[in-house]
Structure 1
Amino acid sequence: MTAIRRDTQGMTSVDSGSGRDAVRAGGGHSRPEDGRSDEGPLPDPARVDPDVLCTLLARHGWQRRGGARGHYTRWTPPDDLEPDTSLLIPADRGFDDSADLLDEAVAALSRSGVPSARAVLASLLVPGDEIHWRRDVPGVGGAVPWGAEEELRAAASAMLSAAAKAGHTRAAYYGARLDAQAADFLERVLVVAPGTGAGLLTAYAPAPEDRQTTTTLVRALEVTRDAIDLQRATGRPDAFDDGVRLGVSRELVGSLVQLVRGSEGAEIALSWAASVGPPRGFVNRPLLLEFSPGDLPVLEAAAERLERSEPPVAVELTGAVVRLKRAVPGGEGQIRLRVLTGAEVDEVRVRLAENDYRTAAEAHLGGLPVRIRGRLERKGGFRRLADPAGVEAVRLDAAERDRLLKALRLRAGRAAGPDDAEG
């Protein structure tokens, strides 16, 4: 049985019931009856589409060597790595021996020591758009420092989060806005270990359900690469500003800084899910973009520029007062508001004059939300409300109160922990 584990960077890892990697395969001499290799579960041959399998083999460099025309094709590993390995893939599932050929092909891939065989099994077992990150970090004997792998996971998670936000709405800088939507997307992303080595990470984004995020990521990364090249050639930074409408943001640029800093270079590749095909407007070929330490000055300057360019946002919020603080009785004080409606953030801090602070305190004691107008500011990642006005308690009937309590519990689950210090 496959278990799903949440990792520390927000993406989800897939493990076998015994804790070993779900899609690593190899070393066995026969395919067990329970559908597992020695190191994890295998795809069910009865559900393998021959066309998808052929597409994945070609994508990973396997060589087509002919076969009976219209009946099956024969495939061998890339670069003659295993001369004795050969796969016969039926043209479709309509032939009498199709099930046996697919079963044998999956078993042969599981026994193969070729890394790409494990990658093919991963794609069959966990279908979706494949996103690959490669980060070149000096190491010893192919190993890299522990911290380098954590940095890779953090950069990839930040990049996917930025794409999820941009897929929802475009902005030069998000801060805390849309954190909940980004977290929901990361919950659906799967990370598997196809045995590709240190400094590498592969994630699978659901397709076609989350194509809005992956297509946004592709366009934004391509525009960012072009903007870097333009600024390095001409000194003009405005291409980053123009890229905002295609998904470029301070968060996306910042994730590239995380990925490249401390490395000798990084690559990002994306291949569309073979079982779904490319989305409308995209060609069926992998994306591959490279970034180097020489790009860092441009990226760092662009991140600052994009953050400064996003204006404060005028809002009218309704939320529950969850914390009150002031230095002495009387005078102004600060509240923390858990937002229910009016802005795509979980919490904001607001500094209030004495009368407004008293109104907020009374609403808190009475279990009522408050309504307040103001401007969400960039400082603190859009977690502060400036120029507050119109503070008032909102009266609720019993049904609305129940909905409020339910919403508060949901928001509390999302907001717990990341930024609990007052300031």
Structure 2
Amino acid sequence: MEIVLYVAGIVFMLIGLGLSIGLHEVGHLVPAKLFGVRVGQYMIGFGPRLWSKRIGETEYGFKMLPLGGFISMSGMYPPSKSTGPASGVFRSLIQDARAANDETIAEGAEDRVFYRLPVWKRVIVMLGGPLMNLLLAVVIFTVLVSGIGVQQGTTTIASVNECVVPASSTATECTSADPPSPAAEAGIQPGDVLVSIDGRPVSTFAEATAIVQAAPGETLDMVVRRAGEEKTLSITPIAAERTLTDASGQPVLDDAGDPVVKEVGYVGMGAQMGYVQQPLTAGPQLAAENVSRVASLIVTLPVRLWDVGVSLVTGSERDPNGPLSVVGVGRLAGEVAATDAPVLNRFAILLSLLGSLNVALFVFNLIPLLPLDGGHVVVALWEGVRRVWAKLFRRPPPAPVDATKLVPLTVVVAVLLIGMGALLLVADLFNPVKLLG
């Protein structure tokens, strides 16, 4: 059964990746067609064609390697002028790129080419793909935190400590020297549901904890619901050194990574954990936090890749927040699906992985280098700058930017991307990230 669940997790992530790539290309396809550009192909994957069907002027299909996708737009660059035989590797690459570009310009559709679009329309077409991934990430995170919820302490009491022991103590049982806990003295019982404290309604255990911690030595009225009836209890938090925790019950850490211990009000009760639905604004906020995190990773990518290489050679543990290949993401999805946890917990983690994957696709494609979408945006913006400059100085409009001249740089970037992918693939096979320990 564990193997079946492991495979199911991988399949879930592969389907999610396929949908993410497909919608990314839809983000390019729809505005391109709306702006009148002739689109010859819409393909998911690379390599040999597995299946395709022509609808109108566009061929839709799938290829063998599901590692990306593309649409073939007519006239991405201006048509090349007649030149003689190419000499040199780079000149040959440029000429080949121009020839391939010329082949996309169909006879009779010379006016339906990408390079003739206004700059703002070209930017929209190229940003459409990454923005589709960002939108998908927002939807996924919204479903995750507002539909399923975030695991937090609820207002239902799970346990009541009989006594108070120091935060540094390792004792598991009370002794006669230990004072009874305020919660036990007040008569709070497991199963009680907190309604209000000190006249303030509480909807999460974190809200109740904040009120208690801020009132050491003060007697508070605590309203609980027990067996369908509300009871008012009096409770006096004592001042005690406690490890601070966040809303999900995890210890708050300082800059050195150590738990933060502080003298606060304490009553000695614990909450049942459950999924607490968040406002609809929480999904976009979580997506924005992920964008910031991935952008930081991209900025430090060379260092991160070096660390991956070192861990691969030495066998040391990899950074769980470092870059992964598709294989690495699949392995994590399989481990999550096969772990011994409630189904909802596993599904929530899988959704989180898929949302993070879409954020990564969004940020990575915005890198301002060809062949990535960000590179095409830079080319379009550069042409816009040249046109504005010519207009300011009353010069003739400049010729469209011939991006095929950047083919040598594009090849270098492509080789680096392939090398990065190969390194991460090998690392994920032989020294994978252990998310679950």
Higher Rg of the two aligned structures? 2
More helix by share: 2
